[in-house]
Chain A
Amino acid sequence: MSAALDMASWALLVSGGLACLVGALGVLRMPDFYTRVHAASLTDTLGAGFVLLGLMLQAGWSLVAVKLAIIGLLIFFTSPAAVHALARAALGHGLQPLLHGGDLPSKR
């Protein structure tokens, strides 16, 4: 493997891990449910995309890359559908968004 490809894969894996970490931090720290949905979508899109792309660069043209692409497509299509159903169910159940009052520590 060429050094440039290795470096690109390294950068993609590390930034994907970082995006996942930031998303999880948002899920833990955000004040109400709907803002937590927003933070979780960062993990599902940017984190998953970067990590899978970095692994695909490591795999090269092979069956492994095809399987990684299948995993990526699966996450790309199912994760927004699941989170959309979740947010609709929460709204239908009467969970109100937090509109004003940004007191973070008391709302945890």
Chain B
Amino acid sequence: MFTAAAAALLATLALLLARAVLGPTIFDRLLAANATGTVAVLLLAVIGFLTGRPEFLDLAIVYGMLNIVGTIAVLKFFQYGSLAE
């Protein structure tokens, strides 16, 4: 059951990465990167259950926090040209 969910999430990651590579504008790439982060958090949680190691959940929490910071930072850098405004 965890294997099926992990396989579906891996296929999701592949499709999102294809959009991130193809994307015509930077916003498309950023949207795909943000969704990739969400799916990576879910994949970490599922892999933690798949291998019986619940420590992976801590990694998932940290990755979820980094995800929004990364998205907002890239947006701000693209908007203003620097991060220190």
> Using a CB–CB distance below 8 Å, which chain A residues touch chain B?
9-10, 13-14, 16-18, 20-21, 23-25, 27-28, 33, 36-37, 40, 43-44, 47-48, 51-52, 54-55, 58-59, 63-64, 67-68, 70-71, 74-75, 78-79, 81-83, 85-86, 89-90, 92-93, 95, 108
Name 30 interchain pairs, CB-CB below 8 A, sorted by A: A10-B1, A14-B1, A14-B8, A17-B7, A17-B8, A21-B15, A23-B12, A23-B35, A24-B13, A24-B16, A24-B19, A24-B35, A43-B39, A47-B39, A47-B42, A51-B5, A52-B45, A55-B46, A67-B57, A67-B58, A71-B41, A74-B64, A75-B41, A78-B64, A78-B67, A85-B75, A86-B27, A90-B25, A90-B27, A92-B79
A86-B75 contact in complex given A13-B4, A79-B38, C-beta closer than 8 Å: yes
Q: Is the interface of B mostly helix, strand, loop or mixed?
A: helix
The smallest C-beta distance from B76 to any residue of chain A, in angstroms, reads: 9
Tally B residues with Cβ within 8 Å of A: 44
Chain B nearest CB from A66 CB (Å) reads 10
A2 to B5, alpha carbons, bound, how many Å?
A: 21
Chain B 49-85, CB-CB to A under 8 Å as 1, else 0, gives 1000010011011001101100110010011000000
- Which residues of B does A touch, CB under 8 Å? 1-2, 4-5, 7-9, 11-13, 15-16, 18-19, 22, 25, 27-28, 30-32, 34-35, 38-39, 41-42, 45-46, 49, 54, 57-58, 60-61, 64-65, 67-68, 71-72, 75, 78-79
